[in-house]
Amino acid sequence: MMTSVDLVGNFILGGVVGGILYNDKLPILHYIALLILCIILMSIFNALSRKIPGLRKRTIGEPITIIRNGRFLIESFKENASRIDIKDIATALRMQNIFSFDNIDFAQIETTGHVSVIMKEEAKKPSRFLIHRGEILEAELKILDRSQVWLENELTKMGLNDPKEIFLAEWVGDHLLVVTADGHVHGNSIQT
C-alpha cells in the first residue's frame, strides 16, 4: 500500500533520478549518495509511522465510518468534508455492484480510498482490533461499548493474562480472536 510518505518520497526520488539523467556537471557518486539517503529517510519515516500511533494517524490516516447500523453518520461527513464526496462514494459502490444505499448496514472509507461495505442481509459486523502488539486500543473498545476490564476478563477466560504477550486481539462480531506473540491463534464464542 502506498502511503502519503511514499508518494512524497517518490516525487523526491524522481527529482534525484532526473538530476542524474539531465545534469552531467556533478559526479554520479553524489547522486547515488543522495538517492541512498532519500531511500533510508523514507524507510525510517515509514517505520516510525508504523510504530508511533499519532504519527501514523497524521501520515496515513484512519478509516472513516460513514454508515453504521444502516444509519448515515452525518458527523463523519461534516468532520471530513474535504475528504468525502458522496458522488465518489456512490461510484465506488457501483464498482462493487451496489447501486443504492438502501441495504447497507455498514460502510467505511479505508485509508487507501476504497469503500468497505457490509450489506444488511449479510448480518455481519465489522471486526475491530482491540489489542495490537500488546497495546490495548481504548478507542476501539469504546466503539464496541466495552471496557478494558471486560477485555482483561475475556482474555483471562482464554488463559491469557498479560496483554503485552498478545500480538493481536480482534473482536469478530460475536467472539474474540487472539493471536499471541508466538503466533498461536486462540478463539472463543463470547456471549455479549
Any idea what the CATH number is for the domain that residue 93 is in?
Answer: 3.30.240.20
Q: Is the dihedral of CA 84, 137, 54, 37 positive or negative?
A: negative
Q: What is the pLDDT at residue 35? A: 81
The answer on 73 and 55 residing in a single domain is no
Q: What is the pLDDT at residue 125? A: 67
Q: What is the pLDDT at residue 189? A: 53
Give pTM, 2 decimals: 0.54
Q: What is the pLDDT at residue 16? A: 75
Name the domain boundary from 14, 31, 59.
59
The answer on 54 and 12 residing in a single domain is yes
The answer on 89 and 40 residing in a single domain is no
Name the domain boundary from 73, 92, 122.
122
Q: What is the pLDDT at residue 188? A: 65
**Can you name the residues that pair with 178 across neighbouring β-strands?**
169, 186
Using an 8 Å Cβ cutoff, are 61 and 111 in contact? Answer: yes
Residues of the chain with pLDDT under 70: 1-5, 122-125, 188-192
Rounded Cα gap, residues 186 and 56, in angstroms = 28
Q: What is the pLDDT at residue 152? A: 92
Structural domain including 132 reads: 128-189
The answer on 80 and 52 residing in a single domain is no
Rounded Cα gap, residues 143 and 138, in angstroms = 9
The answer on 68 and 41 residing in a single domain is no
Among 57, 109, 50, 120, smallest CA distance to 83 is for 109
The answer on 75 and 45 residing in a single domain is no
Name the domain boundary from 25, 41, 59.
59
Residue whose C-alpha cell reads 466495552 in the numeric block: 146
Q: What is the pLDDT at residue 150? A: 92
The answer on 51 and 20 residing in a single domain is yes
Rounded Cα gap, residues 183 and 168, in angstroms = 10
Q: What is the pLDDT at residue 130? A: 92
C-alpha cell at 25: 556537471
Among 57, 53, 60, 43, smallest CA distance to 112 is for 60
Q: What is the pLDDT at residue 106? A: 92
Number of domains in the chain: 3
The answer on 178 and 155 residing in a single domain is yes
